[in-house]
């Protein structure tokens, strides 16, 4: 059976945040949630582009509502400001889709000294999730989706050099590190809060090969016309992870086609390295130290 948005349950009455929602699979995720009746906050680094995305969604005549709040995941002060602004304005949160990301840019660091891919793809989302977790846990059936990538397979995190200050920088390996970090985070979050400990369900997703702006610095962009899925289809794993009623938590959702590059969503297996529970726990502790955001005990 090919799962599509026609199989999604109503999201009426729910409030969702989608990071990086002004384009690509983030936009499609936000649009579909709004079509299903949710109140959706588009968390975007560029507020102007975020507002334009909201206007595009409203023109679709959706039954839900959309709004934009600025969020730069590479800036921990912006993450804190976003969390504060959201909680001041919205009384509930049912769904957090940690979607935003950067892929294989030249080496750079944030104001905190973090390598920019680890900062944006993992640490910023880690901090955002921790700050919003109390609001999520107050919901009757909260859910968190962490968007990873099939590139997690080239990830091999060195906790002694997380930000590539000692090694020669390889932007693709750094990208893979950030994407396997997403899976470590999802699994550890599930171990700490899922499995009936709280009402929270946590899952990860990857979009396969999807044509998006994420690839603007990538050598594969020229092949998109031959092989890549459109963003609406690349968003299906995220939407399934966000709304699939049979998920129990801890699953990884990706396309069902050849090599997981295209197709329709199903539960898939990450590589063996992504299942390293000890490394996931150590990365969690380091992430708390680096971001200053500490999760409550459960």
Contact predicate 93/69, CB 8 Å: no
**pLDDT for 298:** 56
pLDDT for res 143 = 98
What is the reported pLDDT for 290?
A: 98
159 three-state secondary structure? helix
Q: What is the pLDDT of residue 226?
A: 47
- The region that residue 263 occupies, defined by phi over 0 for left and psi between -120 and 50 for alpha, beta otherwise, is left
**Rounded Cα distance, 238 and 27, in Å:** 11
The whole-angstrom distance between residue 83's C-alpha and the CA centroid of its chain comes to 16
pLDDT of residue 223: 47
Catalytic residues: 175
Measure the CA–CA gap between 61 and 63, rounded to whole angstroms: 7
Global pTM?
Answer: 0.94
Domain edges within the chain: 12-291
Q: CA torsion, points 233, 34, 75, 254, in degrees to nearest 10? A: -30
pLDDT value, residue 33:
98
Measured CA to CA in angstroms, residue 72 lies from 9, 15, 63, 80 at distances of: 31, 21, 28, 10
pLDDT under 50 in the chain at which residues?
215, 217, 223-224, 226
DSSP three-state, residue 145 = strand
Q: What is the pLDDT of residues 79-135, one digit of tens each?
A: 999 999 999 999 999 999 999 999 999 999 999 999 999 999 999 999 999 999 999
* 73, 243, 15, 48 alpha-carbon torsion, rounded to 10°: 40
* CATH tag for 12-291 (out of 3.40.50.2300, 3.40.50.720, 2.130.10.10, 3.90.226.10): 3.40.50.720
Query: CA distances (Å), 168 to each of 26, 163, 164, 173, in order?
Result: 32, 11, 7, 11
Surface-to-core class of residue 79, CB atoms within 10 Å of its CB (0-12 exposed, 13-18 middle, 19+ buried): buried
């Amino acid at each position: 059976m090919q799962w599509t948005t026609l199989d999604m349950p109503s999201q009426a009455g729910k409030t969702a945040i989608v990071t990086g929602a002004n384009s690509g699979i983030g936009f499609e995720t936000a649009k579909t949630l709004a079509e299903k009746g949710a109140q959706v906050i588009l968390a975007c680094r560029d507020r102007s582009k975020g507002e334009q995305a909201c206007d595009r969604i409203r023109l679709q005549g959706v039954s839900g509502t959309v709004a934009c709040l600025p969020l730069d995941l590479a800036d921990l002060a912006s993450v804190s400001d976003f969390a504060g602004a959201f909680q001041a304005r919205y009384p509930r949160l049912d769904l957090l889709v940690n979607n935003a990301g950067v892929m294989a840019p030249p080496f750079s660091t944030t104001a905190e000294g973090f390598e920019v891919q680890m900062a944006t793809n993992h640490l910023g989302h880690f901090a955002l999730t921790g700050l919003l977790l109390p609001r999520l846990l107050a919901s009757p059936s909260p859910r968190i989706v962490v968007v990873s990538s099939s590139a997690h397979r080239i990830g091999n995190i060195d906790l002694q050099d997380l930000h590539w200050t000692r090694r020669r920088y390889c932007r693709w390996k750094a990208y893979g590190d950030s994407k396997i970090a997403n899976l470590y985070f999802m699994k550890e979050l599930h171990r700490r809060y899922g499995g009936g400990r709280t009402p929270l369900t946590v899952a990860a997703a990857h979009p396969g090969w999807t044509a998006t702006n994420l690839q603007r610095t990538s050598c594969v962009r020229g092949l998109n016309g031959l092989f890549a899925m459109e963003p609406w289809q690349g968003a299906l794993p995220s939407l399934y992870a966000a709304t699939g009623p049979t998920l129990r938590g801890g699953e990884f959702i990706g396309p069902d086609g050849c090599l997981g590059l295209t197709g329709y969503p199903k539960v898939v297996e990450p590589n063996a390295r992504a299942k390293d529970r000890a490394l996931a726990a150590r990365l969690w502790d380091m992430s708390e130290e680096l971001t200053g955001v500490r999760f409550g005990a459960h």
